[in-house]
Structure 1
């Protein structure tokens, strides 16, 4: 069985969570940051729904997509400057409009009570992710946090997942990745671990078509859905 094929779900000895679109709905804050950057370049704002399609791949990719949606193709040097301009703007828009997604707090509390080590693996910058997790009181229940700037290759590469699991002391085959997009599936497959997807995140493709090992309506459903899979195995 190679890394591209589905993986059997065992009782997880660790769970890794994506952040944006999985634990939190951060699209309104991200849209606010994008539109502040665009305004500084005399470009019109983008609606939240449009910005939502740009999420995934980190801040640099977000900036590139935002300008592309405005009809502007940036030269590499100009893109790098726009990315530098975006960094302080992005950090100003983290918790004002961001909300926890249904079941996020409950799922974290459930697995924490079961003694399952958890981590967040996100393409969001480390400081931004930490700020959000602290704001919602989730950081203290996590054994590790790996942001996009903590590794050389962010998702869909496996690097941050493997780094998080190394911090938790768990092998990939004994862990579970929980996300909302094809990037989460690809990174989990490349790391050699099973993956569960939550509906309602930041993907234009139905999650049932992304090749996950388990699909749940919300994080509220994850513990029971996981138990059903383990019981049927």
Structure 2
């Protein structure tokens, strides 16, 4: 069996928020502080969960839009900068790894998979979070929303991560929690697995992923199932 079959892709690229880490409490609390500063009611954690995705600007824009406000571009830039100033010092206050993440990442790395993160979150804070959990050795490539290429759902950011890994899209797998992750992977020609527990306003089963897992511990079995489906298709 080739090491680049769907059972053991050469590389696995992960989204960060809602996939590897549960960062909702810190994201939502910083967003609540931003709303209060603008004399607006804070959003609940559940409401904030549905706003996450497509980068910080998208999060902030949706938070204002939910109150019927639509800041001008310059005002939005100021609000985004203020949100980051509120969020970054507290980014690790209540953020935790989802269950089984470290164990599975170490298993994949031991099996020879190259691992990376592709997130719409800013690169520097993403790297800080990964390092804080002791995962920097497992995830040496981190491509954030400010890396240069267009953000997900555009495939360019994912392709940039794969280029840094030196792996072709056909030999890779994406793991994420949102429509943006699935769309980026599909457009890049990368197989994609969605997690059920993440941050999305679309039911995970309706995202269009090649496979859906309820828990991160199911990732390796899902990779094997994808391989079995691919083999059956060839037959």
Confirm or deny a common fold (TM above 0.5): yes
Q: How far off is 1:95 after superposition?
A: 0.8
Q: How far off is 1:87 after superposition?
A: 2.2
What does 1:1-12 align with in structure 2 at a 5 Å threshold?
9=6, 11-12=8-9
Instruction: Decide whether the 8 Å contact of 1:143 with 1:168 is kept in 2.
Output: no
Matches of 1:100 and 1:146 in 2, distance apart? 19
Matches of 2:76 and 2:177 in 1, distance apart? 27
> What is aligned with 2:37?
40
> What is aligned with 2:158?
161
Unaligned runs of 5+ in 1: 1-7
Q: For 1:13, which of 10, 15, 25 is the aligned residue? A: 10
Q: How far off is 1:170 after superposition?
A: 0.4
CA deviation vs aligned residue, 1:46-105 (integer Å, no higher than 9, x gap) = 110000110001111111111112232212221122122222112123111111112211
CA RMSD of superposed structures (Å): 1.4
Q: Does 1:22 align with 2:7?
A: no
> What is aligned with 2:102?
105
Matches of 1:72 and 1:46 in 2, distance apart? 14
Instruction: Decide whether the 8 Å contact of 1:14 with 1:170 is kept in 2.
Output: yes
Q: Does 1:172 align with 2:208?
A: no
What does 1:200-219 align with in structure 2 at a 5 Å threshold?
200-219=197-216
Instruction: Decide whether the 8 Å contact of 2:175 with 2:193 is kept in 1.
Output: yes
Q: Tell me the number of residue pairs that the alignment of Structure 1 and Structure 2 aligns.
A: 226
Matches of 2:76 and 2:226 in 1, distance apart? 45
Matches of 1:40 and 1:93 in 2, distance apart? 17
Matches of 1:159 and 1:170 in 2, distance apart? 14
Q: TM-score, normalised by structure 1?
A: 0.92
Matches of 1:203 and 1:129 in 2, distance apart? 19
Matches of 2:95 and 2:57 in 1, distance apart? 20
Q: How far off is 1:143 after superposition?
A: 3.1
Q: After TM superposition, which residue ranges in structure 1, 4 or more long, deviate above 6 angstroms? A: none
CA deviation vs aligned residue, 1:123-166 (integer Å, no higher than 9, x gap) = 00011111111111112111310010002301001111111111
Q: Does 1:220 align with 2:217?
A: yes
Matches of 2:162 and 2:82 in 1, distance apart? 33
Task: Give SS of 1:195's match.
Answer: strand
Instruction: Decide whether the 8 Å contact of 1:32 with 1:93 is kept in 2.
Output: no
Matches of 1:230 and 1:192 in 2, distance apart? 16
Q: TM-score, normalised by structure 2?
A: 0.92
Matches of 2:85 and 2:140 in 1, distance apart? 27
Q: How far off is 1:220 after superposition?
A: 0.3
Q: How far off is 1:10 after superposition?
A: 5.5
Q: How far off is 1:221 after superposition?
A: 0.5
> What is aligned with 1:80?
77
Instruction: Decide whether the 8 Å contact of 1:195 with 1:214 is kept in 2.
Output: yes
